[in-house]
Amino acid sequence: MTIVKQNSKIIYAGTGRRKTSIARVQLIPGSGNLIINGLPGESYLQFSPNYLRISCAALQLLGLSREYDVYVKAEGGGLTGQTNAIRLGIAKALCKINPDNRTTLKAEGFLRRDARIKERKKYGLRKARKAPQYSKR
């Protein structure tokens, strides 16, 4: 269980993964700030309302968006993968806060890890599945 007490504040942690992105999320009781890699969440996610909505969807669903500060260390992949990794990490941390949250988050699909990753290139092919052009004669 990754619940750490630091400076009399309880920190709830969760890890999310998507493609090659990894997001380590910490939820600390606060005022609803989103900090990703030391930057405000809006600027890190390039002010995209879609990315902001996806990353904080679990907090919005439970009505806790103004009760916890979210600190994220995200690495690898692109913004879409990192955003989905953040969403999974927040959902896992919310399950540690209250086990009753699990049923609500599971029903909405926030606890499901999307395991699709890029397929590796194979020997003799141009990409993972693209073969050189075949000529009969």
Q: What is the pLDDT of residues 97-136, one digit of tens each?
A: 999 999 999 999 999 999 999 999 999 999 999 999 999 9
Contact, 74 vs 67, CB < 8 A? no
Interval 2-35: pLDDT, tens: 676 666 688 999 999 999 999 999 999 999 999 9
User: Would you tell me which CATH number, out of the four given (3.40.50.2300, 3.90.1200.10, 3.30.230.10, 3.40.50.300), belongs to the domain 12-108?
Assistant: 3.30.230.10
pLDDT at 137: 87
Domain layout of the chain by residue ranges? 12-108
Considering the entire predicted model, what is its pTM? 0.89
Interval 77-87: pLDDT, tens: 999 999 999 99
